[in-house]
Amino acid sequence: MMDLSVKAKLQLYTLILAVASLIEFGSVADFCSNLDNCTGRIGWALASGVISFVISAAYFALYKFKEDLADKFDAYVSGFMVLWWTVTVPFTTSDFAVGNVYYFSWVAFFAAIMWCFNCLVSRGIVSPDDVKRVVFERHNQQKDVDEPAEMRADSSLEEHRRDDDALEKVEV
């Protein structure tokens, strides 16, 4: 698999976010055209898609043509987009969850998370290895909690037997 550069990943996730936002607000606008007014949740969903599209499309262009300017604020803007979609997803995936609105709200949310994560990686604030370590440590801790005490005792007995067998082979 081809390894993408950090710049390419930032461009990719802003492009995915822009396309998902465009589809989301287009679907909401189509839904809205059949109603008399678009207020409340529907209005929020429409505004969210438009604002997200404008911001992510602008950042895609900045990464392409003015990378130094994009690098100054992208961590803050991408963090804002994560918060923005964290608030938006519950509105767009509940009562009136039209297919494209539902799915592309989630796509936009995860694209914003990945954009923010890659911004933090590009600044050296976090590394993918840190995330793996935290995830696997929690996974291993959870396994220890889920495993009954008898099984842990049996496995430690087995480990001691293997250690004893290894010592016997060394002594011979």
Question: What pLDDT is attached to residue 28?
Answer: 86
- For residue 49, the tally of other CB atoms under 10 A from its CB is 26
How many C-alpha atoms does 128 have within 13 Å on its Cβ side?
4
The answer, yes or no, to whether residue 124 has pLDDT greater than 50, is yes
Query: Mind listing the pLDDT tens digit for each residue in 46-97?
Result: 899 999 999 999 999 999 899 889 888 899 999 999 999 999 998 888 766 6
Cβ burial of 106 (10 Å; 0-12, 13-18, 19+) is: middle
CB 18 within 8 Å of CB 74: no
Query: pLDDT-based confidence at 159, cuts 50/70/90?
Result: low
pTM of this prediction exceeds 0.75: no
CB 72 within 8 Å of CB 58: no
Cβ burial of 12 (10 Å; 0-12, 13-18, 19+) is: middle
The answer, yes or no, to whether residue 103 has pLDDT greater than 60, is yes
Question: What pLDDT is attached to residue 148?
Answer: 58
User: What's the mean pLDDT in 135-147?
Assistant: 67
